[in-house]
């Protein structure tokens, strides 16, 4: 299966395509036979011994044995450990309900903030933006968020906002912004001093020193969705020279 | 009545008071029977042998570990120094020298270094006075009037009778 997977890296696959353990993998007689584990990321699903494709896109590979589907989508499906921007919608007793743009609202315990105790409640109002991490993300259970890491530190999570602008982009653009060698990010870095909060759920929050600049950045990022790198660079240099 | 017909039942023979009169052979036979009954009555599960197959496929639902995505808070050109500090903390693989080059294009500070120095220049005197004791402060002012006080320690002089 590994060899077939590796051979098809970079190809477009559709839901329903499958990989299975065949006899085609040659087993070397000299080395000790140690079955290799495959880590399948989003878009691939395990079904018994087979590996099924469940999203259409391009098969990607990372060393040693990580495979996933690279696809464009707008609907966010929550996954454990991902950080998202949520909007507090309900404040009831000891949990907040947070809308993160998924199929269901997530619950956020009032104790899941840095420095919060039973006596000392965090100051969170309905309508506040929170940057939080999924600690329970299961298709059968209510998603649960937390604003602290496992060490009890906030590490940048928690309530934020004020003076910024929140808008939506596609999940693909979010991943492009967050990738280690992102061109969009390095282009953006040249423009204005600004601050960005990027949620994996496709929400982006920008703040800079003036409303005008904030709006410019927001519009630029939204138009990045459908531009070639060349067009983008051209537009960014024009903005930098003060054309907009 | 023949002897054969007068045979005592097994259950009767197994009783304690009957044991004395039994011969070795029947005793052995009885014990064996008993053992068989016990072993027959023992329970066992009628299940196929469970053998966990090693799972070679691990599922991961998130893009973050696959694509090595960075932490979602960032600040550029010193807009929010706290977040920039956090960025280096959360993304340890960041290359350091790239940031050093951009020091010139940083966001202008609200208070420049010169302004700071000028402000503190006038503050030096008042800050100094804060750490001086009241008695010493008096002598300080005396110095300005060129009235040098003798530094002899005051002691109690016993009056003469």
Query: Tens digits of per-residue pLDDT, B73-91?
Result: 999 888 888 888 888 888 7
Q: What is the pLDDT of residue B104?
A: 45
With an 8 Å Cβ cutoff, is A38 touching chain B? yes
| A51/B58 Cβ within 8 A | no
CA distances from B11 to A28, B16, B31 (A): 67, 11, 12
What digits encode the pLDDT tens for the residues A46-96?
A: 887 788 899 999 999 988 888 899 988 889 999 999 999 999 999 988 899
Superfamily classification of domain A165-240? K Homology domain, type 1 (3.30.1370.10)
The DSSP secondary-structure symbol of B151 reads: -
| A190/chain B closest Cα distance in angstroms | 8
Q: ipTM > 0.90? A: no
Give the domain ranges of chain A: 2-70, 83-160, 165-240
Q: What is the pLDDT of residue A22?
A: 61
Chain CA centroid to CA B35, Å: 57
Burial (CB < 10 A; 0-12, 13-18, 19+), residue B43, is: exposed
Contact between A209 and A164 under an 8 Å Cβ cutoff? The reply is no
CATH topology identical between A2-70 and A165-240: no
User: Rounded distance, CA B56 to CA B129, Å?
Assistant: 75
Q: Is B152 a residue whose pLDDT tops 80?
A: no
Q: What is the pLDDT of residue B99?
A: 44
Considering CB atoms only, which of A42, A180, A209 is closest to B62?
A42
Q: What is the pLDDT of residue A197?
A: 93
Domain A83-160: top CATH class:
mainly beta
Q: Which of A195, A199, A207 should one mutate to test binding to chain B, selecting the residue with the greatest count of B CBs within 10 A?
A: A195
Do the strands A144-146 and A106-109 form a parallel or antiparallel pair, or are they unpaired? parallel
What's the pLDDT band for B98 if we cut at 50, 70, 90?
A: very low
- Averaged confidence pLDDT in chain A: 87
Global pTM? 0.68
CA distances from B140 to B24, B64, B147, B152, B154 (A): 123, 67, 10, 17, 19
Q: What percent of chain A has pLDDT over 90?
A: 44
| A193/B77 Cβ within 8 A | yes
Considering CB atoms only, which of B56, B62, B66 is closest to A80?
B62
Query: How is A167-211 classified by DSSP, letter by letter?
Result: EE--HHHHHHHHSTT-HHHHHHHTS--EEEEE-TTSEEEEEESSH
- Averaged confidence pLDDT in chain B: 75
Give kind and range of the element (H or E) at residue A144.
strand A144-146
CATH number belonging to domain A2-70: 2.40.50
Any bridge partners for residue A226, and if so which? none
Please name the residues in contact with B64: beta carbons below 8 A apart, sequence gap of 6 or more.
A79, A81, A82, A200
Please name the residues in contact with A121: beta carbons below 8 A apart, sequence gap of 6 or more.
A110
User: Rounded distance, CA A65 to CA B64, Å?
Assistant: 16
| B113/chain A closest Cα distance in angstroms | 20
Q: Is B147 a residue whose pLDDT tops 60?
A: no
CA distances from A232 to A229, A236, B88 (A): 5, 6, 27
pLDDT (average), residues B18-31: 81
Contact between A57 and A71 under an 8 Å Cβ cutoff? The reply is yes
With an 8 Å Cβ cutoff, is A198 touching chain B? yes
């Amino acid at each position: 299966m590994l060899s077939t997977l590796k051979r098809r890296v970079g190809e477009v696959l559709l839901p329903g395509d499958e990989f299975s353990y065949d006899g085609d993998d040659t087993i070397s007689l000299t080395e000790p036979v140690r079955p290799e584990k495959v880590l399948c990321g989003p878009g691939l699903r395990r079904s018994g011994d087979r590996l099924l494709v469940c999203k259409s896109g391009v098969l990607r590979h990372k060393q040693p044995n990580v495979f996933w589907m690279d696809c464009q989508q707008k609907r966010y499906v929550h996954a454990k450990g991902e950080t998202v921007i949520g909007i507090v919608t309900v404040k009831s007793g000891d949990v907040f309900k947070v809308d993160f743009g998924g199929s269901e609202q997530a619950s956020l315990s009032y104790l899941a903030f840095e420095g919060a105790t039973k006596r000392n409640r965090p100051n969170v109002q309905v309508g506040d933006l929170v940057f939080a991490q999924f600690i329970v993300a299961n298709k059968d259970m209510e998603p649960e968020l937390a604003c602290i890491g496992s060490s009890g530190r906030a590490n940048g999570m928690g309530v934020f906002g004020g003076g910024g602008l929140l808008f939506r982009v596609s999940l693909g653009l979010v991943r492009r912004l967050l990738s280690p060698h992102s061109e969009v990010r390095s282009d953006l870095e040249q423009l204005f001093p600004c601050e960005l909060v990027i949620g994996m759920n496709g929400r982006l929050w920008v703040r800079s020193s003036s409303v005008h600049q904030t709006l410019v950045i927001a519009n630029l990022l939204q138009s990045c969705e459908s531009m070639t790198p060349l067009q983008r660079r051209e537009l960014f240099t024009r903005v930098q020279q003060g054309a907009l | 009545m023949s002897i054969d017909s007068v045979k005592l039942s097994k259950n009767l023979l197994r009783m304690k008071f009957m044991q004395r009169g039994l011969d070795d052979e029947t005793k052995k036979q009885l014990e064996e029977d008993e053992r068989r009954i016990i072993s027959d009555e023992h329970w066992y599960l009628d299940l196929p042998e469970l053998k966990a197959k090693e799972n070679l496929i691990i599922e991961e639902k998130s893009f973050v570990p696959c694509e090595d995505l960075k932490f979602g808070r960032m600040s550029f050109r010193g807009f929010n120094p706290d977040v920039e500090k956090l960025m280096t903390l959360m993304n340890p693989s960041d290359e350091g020298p790239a940031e050093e080059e951009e020091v010139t294009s940083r966001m202008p500070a609200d208070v420049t270094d010169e302004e700071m120095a000028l402000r503190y220049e006038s503050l030096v005197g008042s800050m100094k006075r804060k750490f001086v004791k009241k008695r010493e402060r008096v002598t300080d002012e005396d110095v300005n009037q060129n009235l040098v006080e003798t530094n002899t320690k005051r002691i109690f002089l016993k009056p003469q009778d």
